[in-house]
Amino acid sequence: MSAPATRAKRAAYQAALLLLVPAFIILLGVFVIPMLYIFLMSFQDAKEQFTFDNYILFVKDPYYIGILWRTVKVSLLTVLCCLLLGYPVALFLSKASGKMRGFVTFLIISPHLISVVIRNFGWVVILGDKGWINTILMNLGLIEKPLRLLYNELGVVIGLTDAFIVYMVLSISTSLYAVDSSLFKAAGILGASKWTMFRTITLPLSLPGILAGTTLVFSLSMSAFVTPALMGGTSVKVLPVITYEKIMATLNWPLGAALAFLLLASTVVLVTVFSKLVETKRYKEVFAS
């Protein structure tokens, strides 16, 4: 490579780096430095002395282990509900016309134009003891007393599914848009049934979208605070809610910081393990069997 070309390439590289400087400064100031400060705080006691007691308390206390397991369980149930409800919608979008696709996409996204607090209160009206569901069931004589649909794990999963299903639908539909329609024509000529085409073509080619949607929904569910607090009440304690209570109610910042980083570590580990399982293509064993 000639000297002028080398200098031009170096100048372009330096210009690109300069364009990144403002974003890097903002990221450093509002994210990296505060996170480091909170991380160091998690190793302090009430007298601001270095200690591992906050992390040891979490490991030794069954109460916190139970809360972590509940957080993971609720997140996994939310992922499952989003996948089961969102996949048919994504499949419909992949086959719909341009106008219909835009209309359905707008219907999916439009609830997110409203505050999550207002949406949760809407679910309270629907799922409460005197809500629409219980009122209709009791008027029809199908139940004698209201079903408990709120302030339990079921209510939290319903609220989280409503909040995050859009990420699953859009992730899967993006993968399905890229599927070549000629594959289905070839499979039909060879005599494949619709179920065979779905099992051997549609589902395998949509796995990248399923992985992306699962990762997004699980991560967001693990860190969700508003929905568990409003729809779970005091009966369903998850790690984000406990972290908030330790920091804002009891003013135990070191323990709250430790819980926050344990939540972050748990999410990263679980998402990494799931991603590795998919990347090793173990799912092919299922389709081959």
The H-assigned helical ranges of the chain are 3-27, 33-41, 53-60, 62-95, 98-109, 116-127, 132-139, 153-177, 181-189, 194-197, 203-205, 207-222, 226-232, 239-244, 253-279, 283-288
The predicted-structure confidence for 85-99, as pLDDT tens digits, reads as follows 999 999 999 888 888
CA distance 3 to 166: 51
60, 32, 168, 279: CA torsion to nearest 10: -80
CB 270 within 8 A of CB 72: yes
Which of 84, 106, 80 lies closest to 93, judged by CA?
106
How does pLDDT run along the chain (289 residues), one tens digit per residue?
566 667 777 877 888 888 888 988 999 998 889 989 989 999 988 778 898 999 999 989 899 999 999 999 999 999 999 999 999 999 999 888 888 988 998 989 888 888 888 999 899 889 988 888 898 988 888 888 888 888 999 999 999 999 999 999 999 999 888 887 788 888 888 788 888 888 888 888 888 899 999 999 999 999 999 999 999 888 889 999 999 999 888 889 999 999 999 999 999 888 888 877 776 655 454 445 4
CB 244 within 8 A of CB 225: yes
What predicted TM-score, i.e. pTM, was given to this entire model?
0.85
pLDDT of amino acid 143: 85
Report which DSSP code applies to 115: -
CA distance 289 to 37: 51
CB 237 within 8 A of CB 70: yes
The owner of tokens 């003891």 is 129
Q: Which domains does the chain have, with CATH numbers?
A: 61-288 (1.10.3720.10)
CA distance 274 to 6: 43
